[in-house]
Every structure is written in structure tokens, then in C-alpha cells.
Amino acid sequence: MPDAPSLAPALVRPALASVQAYVPGRPLSALRRELGEIPITRLASNEGPYPPFPAAVRAIADQAALQNLYPDPGAWALCDALGEEHGVDPDRIVVGNGVDSLIRLLCMAMLDPGDELVMGWPSFISYRPGTMAQGAIWTPVGLAPDGTYDLQALAAAAGPRTKIAVVVSPNNPTGGAVSGRDLEGFLDALPPHVLPVLDEAYFEFLPAGSHDGMALVRAGRSLVVMRTFSKAFGLAGLRIGWMAGPRGLARALSPVRNAFDVNAVAQAAALASLADAAVELPPRIQAVRAERDRMADGLRALGLEPLPSQANFVFVEVGEERAAALDRALTARGVIVRPTAAFGAPGGLRITAGTPEQTDRLLAAMHEAMGEGV
Ligand SMILES: Cc1ncc(COP(=O)(O)O)c(C=O)c1O
């Protein structure tokens, strides 16, 4: 076979040279090849530990034979159901191929070269490549010591070219959430030319009385709120998330989005999940919170200092070298956690809350590794 030709570098946009692509957690198939037959406990991607709701599994099966047809391009039925559930006009809701895709579309629709997005850091990665791929300026702002966003510093960082100010709460990878009152103060303080984006990917894990972005949208505040079916609803594999915001949001995104972004199976599964959420969500949330807290207690008993978390994971700062050593030692024992260098926290490990058995395996592996001096 003749050598395959290489793509000429000059054909690629120079702005992309400095963009670090998102590096996802290692897939199960790669881990199986690496680790052979030992059981694998994957606590690296903040997925839900339980299968989709029974009604969602049925909806997925029912959809199988219909996949010769294109999906509903506007996810109208789901927008209507979400609008009804949250008391928000469905015209203000956009469904996407995961929140990740919505982040990218928002950046494509809003940021020109030289425009700016400000956000807390360490935090969720996707906003950075989304900004930089536009040739726009990505400005990170340090977090408060408890791992939550420093909202005063964030508001102060917004300048004349800032178009988007992102708040991730609970924050990934640190797990802390801002208070509702601080959030409202931030919205008041932000200059009017800046669009606030509140990423509530872990909203369902927040304790009662925490912030609720949909209440702010209902109250007429100008902001975008992101939610996902990937975490609490257990639909990460189908890729479906949504956002609500100012009127005109869907229109602004339409030139940059693909017509059939969100597949029909995902739409049906999300719709079925929504209908059963009141019954199915609370026991799962309770179970995940219980394992998160048991994991944090177990790590504390080993002498580590996890940050307080209001999400489905815990973050522990151990120092750069030890983070790498613990990651290796845990991986060798089949327990996969997430080193957080790419999130801006090079000395950290983020560990997803799983089932009780997964917590036991994580704590046993951590105990063994630390017993060997790691
Ligand atoms: C804060 C935050 N936002 C967005 C996402 C992406 O969610 P989705 O699976 O809907 O793309 C994640 C996923 O880990 C996240 O942690």
C-alpha cells in the first residue's frame, strides 16, 4: 500500500495549535487490555453507578426498530416536557448532544477572536478548548480555599471584551457549591454586556435549599443554565443535556449546530426519565450521597483531606508526585480514579461515588497502596 498522505499543517487554523483537547478517562476496553483479568472499578468519570431508570430502558428498546428515521431535530417533545417540569417557556430551552456539545455551540455562536470567557479554575475543562478554538481569550480565576467559585473575583475579572462568565456549581473537580445568595450577588455585580452561564451538571446532588438556576430563569434573570441527563439520570452513554436561558438562545445557536444533533433514542430515554424522576431519583441520589460521604470518611481515616463535596464525587489534594503514584498504585489494583492535572489541579485526585461495593474496593486499594508507602 502507498504511504497515506499527511494533512498539510498550513490547512489547519493556527488558533487550534494552542488548544489542548479534552482527554477523557481511559475507556473500559483499554483498561481491560492493560490490566488483564482483574476486576475493574471505574470511578473516574462521574457517571451514575446505576443503570438508566426502567422506563428509560424500555424507551430505548422501543426505539431500536425505528432507527431508520431521523430524529426530531428540535427535540420538541422533550423541550415541552422540560418546560412544563420547570415552569420555563420551551422556546427558551435548547437540547444538545450532552452539555459538552452545548458549551461548544455557545462558544461558537458568541466568541470572536479577541473576545473573552472568564471562569473559575481548577474547573470543568470544556470551556477552555471551546473558547480557544475560536481564537478567543480564556481567563481563569482562582477558586476560594474550599474549592468553590470565588464569585467576587470572577465578577471583578470581567472586562470590556468579556462575553461569557462561567460558574460551575457544584464545581468539577473540587465538588463545592456556591450559595444561592452569593450567586444572586454575582449576577447583580456582573456588567450587563456579559452573559453568565451557570453549569449545574451536578444539580440533583445539591442539598435542599441550594441554588436553583431554573428558579433564576423563571424569575427573569438573564443567564444560561446547563443541566445534563448524564449524571443523576444515568444516561451518560446516550449523550443528552439541555440549557435554558434568554429568548433568542436557540436562534443564536442554529447556524452552528447540526440539524440532527440529538439522536432519537436519547430523546426518548430522557423523556421517559423525566416522567419517572420524582420516584426514581430520590433513592439513587440518597445512595450516591451516602457512598460519597462514606468514601470521604474512609479517606479521612487514612489521613487524607478530601474537600467537602456537594456532587457525586470527592476531590483530594495529595501533591503532584503522590497523585501520580497513587493513580498508578490504584490502577494496578483495578481501581481507576481521575488525576486532575488537566482540570488545573495537578496535585489532586477526583474519585466518583459508586456502589457500596465500589467504595469498599476503593478504600481497600487506597489502604493497601498507602500501607506500601505511596
Ligand atoms: C461541570 C460539568 N459540566 C458539563 C459536563 C458534561 O456533561 P455531558 O455529559 O452532558 O456532556 C460535565 C461532565 O463531566 C461536568 O462535570
35-58, pLDDT tens digit by residue? Answer: 888 899 999 999 999 999 999 999
Written as nine digits, the cell of 13 is: 487554523
Residue linked to cell 421517559:
272
Asked whether residue 161 falls in the same domain as residue 301, the answer is: no
**pLDDT reported for residue 133:** 97
**pLDDT reported for residue 22:** 76
Identity at 93, one-letter amino acid code: I
Asked whether residue 267 falls in the same domain as residue 353, the answer is: no
Ligand 1 centroid from CA 374, angstroms: 31
**CB atoms near residue 301 (< 10 Å):** 10
Domain boundary among the residues 276, 294, 312 is at 276
Pocket mutation for ligand 1, best pick of 42, 47, 99, 197 (most atoms within 8 Å of C-beta): 99
For the CA of 103, the nearest atom of ligand 1: 4
Ligand 1 centroid from CA 339, angstroms: 17
| CA dist., res. 179 & res. 41, Å (int) | 33
**E runs forming strands in the chain:** 41-42, 93-96, 116-121, 137-142, 162-168, 195-199, 224-228, 241-244, 313-317, 335-336, 338-339, 348-352
For the CA of 168, the nearest atom of ligand 1: 1
pTM for the model stands at: 0.97
**pLDDT reported for residue 28:** 82
Give the range of the structural domain holding residue 43, as residue numbers without chain letter. 23-50+278-371
| Inside any domain, residue 17 | no
**pLDDT reported for residue 34:** 86
Written as nine digits, the cell of 198 is: 451557570
116 lines ligand 1 (CB under 6 A): no
Return the DSSP state at 306: B
Ligand 1 centroid from CA 215, angstroms: 21
Ligand 1 centroid from CA 99, angstroms: 6
Of the CA atoms within 13 Å of residue 164, those in its CB half-sphere come to 33
Adjacent-strand bridge partners of 240: none
**pLDDT reported for residue 170:** 98
**Residue 202 · residue 312 · CB < 8 Å:** yes
Helix or strand or coil: residue 159? coil
352 lines ligand 1 (CB under 6 A): no
| CA dist., res. 325 & res. 338, Å (int) | 12
Question: For residue range 192-236, what is the model confidence (pLDDT) as tens digits?
Answer: 999 999 999 999 999 999 999 999 999 999 999 999 999 999 999
**pLDDT reported for residue 258:** 94
**Residue 267 · residue 77 · CB < 8 Å:** yes
Identity at 339, one-letter amino acid code: P
| Inside any domain, residue 344 | yes
Check which CATH number belongs to the domain holding 161 and give it.
3.40.640.10
For the CA of 102, the nearest atom of ligand 1: 11
Nearest CA to ligand 1 atom 15: 201
Asked whether residue 345 falls in the same domain as residue 248, the answer is: no
**pLDDT reported for residue 24:** 76
| CA dist., res. 273 & res. 281, Å (int) | 9
Asked whether residue 293 falls in the same domain as residue 198, the answer is: no
Ligand 1 centroid from CA 126, angstroms: 8
For the CA of 241, the nearest atom of ligand 1: 10
**pLDDT reported for residue 223:** 98
Report the Cα 64 to chain-centroid distance in Å: 28
99 lines ligand 1 (CB under 6 A): yes
Question: For residue range 291-323, what is the model confidence (pLDDT) as tens digits?
Answer: 999 999 999 999 999 999 999 999 999 999 999
For the CA of 100, the nearest atom of ligand 1: 11
Domain boundary among the residues 258, 276, 294 is at 276
Nearest CA to ligand 1 atom 12: 201
**pLDDT reported for residue 62:** 98
100 lines ligand 1 (CB under 6 A): yes
Output helix, strand, coil percentages for the chain, rounded to the nearest 5: 45, 15, 40
Domain count, the chain: 2
41 lines ligand 1 (CB under 6 A): no
**pLDDT reported for residue 94:** 98
Identity at 259, one-letter amino acid code: A
Enumerate residue ranges in the chain where pLDDT < 50.
none
